């Protein structure tokens, strides 16, 4: 029993603590890049926080952490339209390699975009 508890504790300890501010440059329109900044707050295997934008902060939803792997969504609303972006990635030290995919029912799928976030604080 004690060995099983130690194994679970070791697995939990090996995961990254993502709490803090993370920034990067994501692929944007017309081949340009755009600055992105996230504020993450980790609570066990749940990930909370927000994406900072020029028009306001957008909350992270459905955030999950499993070891060094993360998954969360951001829903951007424009009038009566909503577009969900799904982010998946892996944390290695003070960097997260993230893939962003647009998920919008009825829309033509856009190719996934991969970029790196770096911990600022």
Do 113 and 99 meet the contact criterion of CB atoms below 8 Å apart? yes
Q: Where are the domains of the chain?
A: 2-119
pLDDT, tens digit, 9 for 90 and up, residues 50-91: 999 888 899 999 999 999 999 999 999 888 888 899 999 999
- pTM comes to 0.82
CATH top class, domain 2-119: mainly beta
Q: Which three-class secondary structure string do you get for the chain?
A: CHHHHHHHHHHHHHCCCCCEEEEEEEECHHHCEEEEEEEEEEECCEEEEEEEECCEEEEEEEEEEECCEEEEEEEEEECCEEEEEEEEEEEECCEEEEEEEEECCCCCCCCCEEEEEEECC
């Amino acid at each position: 029993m004690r060995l099983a508890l130690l194994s679970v504790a070791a697995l939990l300890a090996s995961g990254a603590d993502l709490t803090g501010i993370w920034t990067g440059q994501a692929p944007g329109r017309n081949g340009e890049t755009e600055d992105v900044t996230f504020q993450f707050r980790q609570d066990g295997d749940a990930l909370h926080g927000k994406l900072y934008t020029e028009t306001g902060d957008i909350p992270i939803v459905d955030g999950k952490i499993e070891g060094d792997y993360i998954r969360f969504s951001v829903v951007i609303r424009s009038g009566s339209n909503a577009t969900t972006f799904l982010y998946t990635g892996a944390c290695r030290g003070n960097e997260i390699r993230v893939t962003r995919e647009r998920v919008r029912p009825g829309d033509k799928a856009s190719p996934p975009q991969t970029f790196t976030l770096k911990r600022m604080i």
